[in-house]
């Protein structure tokens, strides 16, 4: 899809990958509806890109709040007429090893990373189905591959997001609505800045945004990167359980060096 003159709704626009996506999408002469909770960051971003885009509006919204999400989507449609591309990128990552175990953290992770995506799709679907057009790009992660120790809540939430998006992709194909699953490896952002463990093949958020935009333009089913991490996670997926357990116990990703 040529993104010129398209209306793009982007969640998690205030920081990291989302912020970089917004800055680069602004160069495409599209209209942007930017969603996040931190208003000041959204306002700064709006000021930065206002001269470049054909239209930009910010929407302060917690993706876990279904009523607010419904209102935001209606406001975006009222303002811009439609949503051509929804990039559902908002997400949280928390440590969830046995020393950090907490049901509230699990709720936050699942409600943001899974229900947050579902809330937006729920609000967007009637209009997309009516128009039989559009792209939904949900941001999952290569962490969906297996249950990495210390990151159980995050991995499980991303696995749920990936499986949900896959099912939606097949279902919406006959309505000419494309569903794309974005699966980054490690990307340097405020989310990963707090990690104390090694993050192999980490790339910067600017590069990640470039890859994601190119993948959306090509309407790829899965946008996954970087290649070495993709290959390693594919290998880990087919690894027999005893071998996976052995490797992970020897070098758990959450282990402090
Ligand atoms: N960085 C990586 O290595 C990596 C790897 C794979 C996948 N990902 C995924 O990529 C996406 C972006 O992550 P990032 O690395 O760019 O992290 P980030 O810099 O922490 O950005 C996360 C974004 O999500 C928004 N957000 C979080 N909770 C929200 C909520 N309840 N309601 C609305 N917005 C919310 C934040 O905005 P506010 O706080 O202003 O609301 C922020 O804009 C996430 O889905 C993440 O899981 C990241």
Note the pLDDT tens digit of each residue in 83-140: 999 999 999 999 888 888 899 999 999 999 999 999 999 999 999 999 999 999 999 9
Tell me the two tokens of residue 210. 């470039």
218-243 pLDDT, tens per residue?
A: 999 999 999 999 999 999 999 999 99
For the chain, give the number of residues: 257
Nearest CA to ligand 1 atom 7: 141
Q: Say whether pLDDT at 254 is over 70.
A: no
Q: Which residues have any ligand 1 atom within 6 Å of their CB?
A: 11-18, 36-38, 41, 62-64, 89-93, 112, 139, 141, 184, 186-187, 189-192
- Do 63 and 120 meet the contact criterion of CB atoms below 8 Å apart? yes
Terminal CA-to-CA distance of the chain, rounded, Å?
45
Cut 0.85: pTM above it? yes
7-250: CATH, from 1.20.1070.10, 3.20.20.80, 3.40.640.10, 3.40.50.720: 3.40.50.720
How close is the Cα of 206 to the center of ligand 1, in Å? 15
């Amino acid at each position: 899809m040529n993104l010129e003159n398209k209306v793009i709704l982007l969640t998690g626009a205030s920081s990291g990958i989302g912020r970089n996506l917004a800055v680069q999408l602004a160069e495409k002469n599209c209209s942007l509806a930017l969603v996040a909770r931190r208003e000041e960051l959204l306002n700064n971003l709006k000021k930065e890109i206002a001269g470049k885009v054909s239209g930009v509006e910010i929407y302060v919204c917690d993706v876990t709040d279904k009523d607010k999400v419904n209102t935001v989507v209606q406001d975006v449609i009222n303002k811009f007429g439609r949503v051509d591309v929804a990039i559902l990128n908002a997400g949280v990552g928390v440590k969830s090893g046995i020393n950090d175990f907490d049901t509230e953290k699990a709720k936050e992770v699942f409600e943001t990373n899974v229900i947050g995506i579902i809330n937006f799709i729920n609000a967007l679907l009637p209009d997309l189905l009516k128009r039989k057009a559009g792209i939904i790009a949900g941001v999952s992660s290569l962490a969906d591959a297996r249950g990495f120790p210390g990151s159980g809540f995050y991995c499980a939430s991303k696995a749920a997001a990936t499986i949900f998006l896959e099912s939606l992709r097949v279902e919406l194909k006959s309505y000419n609505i494309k569903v794309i699953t974005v699966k980054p490896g490690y990307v340097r952002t405020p989310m990963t800045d707090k990690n104390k463990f090694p993050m192999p093949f980490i790339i910067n958020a600017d590069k990640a945004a470039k890859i994601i935009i190119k993948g959306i333009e090509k309407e790829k089913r899965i946008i996954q990167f970087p290649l070495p991490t993709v290959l390693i996670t594919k290998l880990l997926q087919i690894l027999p359980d005893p071998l996976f357990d052995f490797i992970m116990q020897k070098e758990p990703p959450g282990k402090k060096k």
